[in-house]
Structures are given as structure tokens and as C-alpha cells.
Amino acid sequence: SKDACVICLEDITERAITAPCNHCTFDFLCLVSWLQERPTCPLCKAEVTAVQYDWRTPEDFKTYFVRSIATTQQISSTYHENARSRLPRRLRTARRPHPPPGPDTALLRRRHVYRRKLYSLHVGSNQISQYRDLTPQTFAQSAELQSRAKAWIRRELRVFSFLDAEPDQMPSEGGATTSSNAEFLLSYIIAILRKVDLKSSNGHAEDLLQEFLGRDNTRLFLHELGSWLRSPYTRLGEWDRTVQYREEL
């Protein structure tokens, strides 16, 4: 039988390990959510400096660095207007100067959606529209849905310029890679989709993500993600041409 996560008491779907204490009975989503509130191990209460996740081999995994206790206390006493300041401290680095990329029409369009707070219009689930309902169970069991989600999320996260910081250059043990902001959020959002209903009235998915994107951005992001996943389209360009809003883009 599968191990149970000591935080939620359900089966572990994506294992995460605390460092340096090396406890491993946590689900990735549960542990990161826990550490947003208190950067200590749920089992031994030692300070957690990093989370190892996305294991492919014992030497091939990703590392998410956690804010120190002192930093967390300082942040908790201050209200942050800028969503970038809510990113994990060690994932934030000074952006290296580089020539601006050429215009990306699709990306500019997506940024306009967030700037104007435009929500895509609802399309019902039926044989004509081919839209379908989405649940955590159907998502967790569908490799196709997970692949489509990753493609959409990768592009959508480019909307938020505060995620453009370079990955932390600190060396990691065992050849592990250090997550960039966008890489970490991609894994985190996929973990949320496997566990949490996006349309749940308690707003749990928003609560888990809003620390990184801000509440308004998160609400719109999850709405648009749900619209994409419910749709019959497999290419982002098809969805871009078809999705409708209350004003022309």
C-alpha cells in the first residue's frame, strides 16, 4: 500500500523530502502549503531550508529553497502590495540585463486579459461544444490532461514579469537542479490540480496559489486554466482563436 502523508493523512501522490532533516512522509502540495505558514518540519519541528521533489532517480530531483524563520517573521509583519515579494526568498535573484525579446502576439494578448481582468465566457458541457467537466480525479488519471495543463501553464506564467528571475545559483547536492520561479510554480499548480477542485466554493485552490500570484491574478488564472482544460482543443493557438471575452482583444 502507498505511504500516507502525515499532513493530510491521504496517500502520497508526489513525494517531497524536507532538508536537512530528511523526513519523507509528505505529499509535495501539503508540505509546500505547510511551509508557507511555518518553515519547520511537521514531524521534528526543525527548520526546513529546502524541499526536494520531482524525483526521477536518487540523483536527479529538483530543489525548492524555503525562506528562513527570520525572513518569514519579517514578511508576516509587513503587508506586500507587490506579488513578486511573495515568491520564495531564495528563488528571487537580481534579473540579469538582456535584450528585450521580440513581441509575442499571443503573450501580449494574455497580458491584456489580466490587465483588464477579463474572464473567458462560460461554455457548457455538451456534445456540440465538446467541453467537459473537470475534477481532480479525472485530472490525476489523465496523462493527456496533465500534458495540456503543463503546456498552458508554461505559457501563462510568462505573463507575470516578476517570475522572470534567474534560478538561484546555489549548488545543490547530488546533482539536483534548483527550481526557477516558473518551474516551481508549474509543479506546484499540477499538484494542486491533482488534489483540489478548481470550482470548489471554499476557494482552497486560490488560497494555495494566491501567495505567489496575488489574489486577483490567481482567481483569473484558475478560471482561464479551467476553461482551457475543459475545452476540446489540444493546441494553444486553437484555443486563442476560439475563446471569447466580453470585449474584443
Per the prediction, the chain carries an average pLDDT of: 80
CB atoms within 10 A of CB 173: 12
Cell numbers of 217, please?
491574478
Strands annotated E in 43-87: 50-57, 60-65
C-alpha span between 196 and 39 (Å, rounded) = 23
pLDDT tens string 111-137 = 999 999 999 999 988 888 889 989 999
pLDDT the model gives residue 178: 41
pLDDT above 50 (res 138) = yes
pLDDT above 90 (res 78) = no
C-alpha span between 179 and 156 (Å, rounded) = 18
Q: pTM score, two decimals?
A: 0.69
C-alpha span between 203 and 208 (Å, rounded) = 9
Q: What confidence category does residue 189 fall into, taking pLDDT thresholds of 50, 70 and 90?
A: very high
Q: Which residue has the higher pLDDT, 224 or 70?
A: 224
- Position of cell 530543489? 63
What the chain holds in terms of domains, given with CATH numbers, is 15-78 (3.30.40), 105-242 (no CATH)
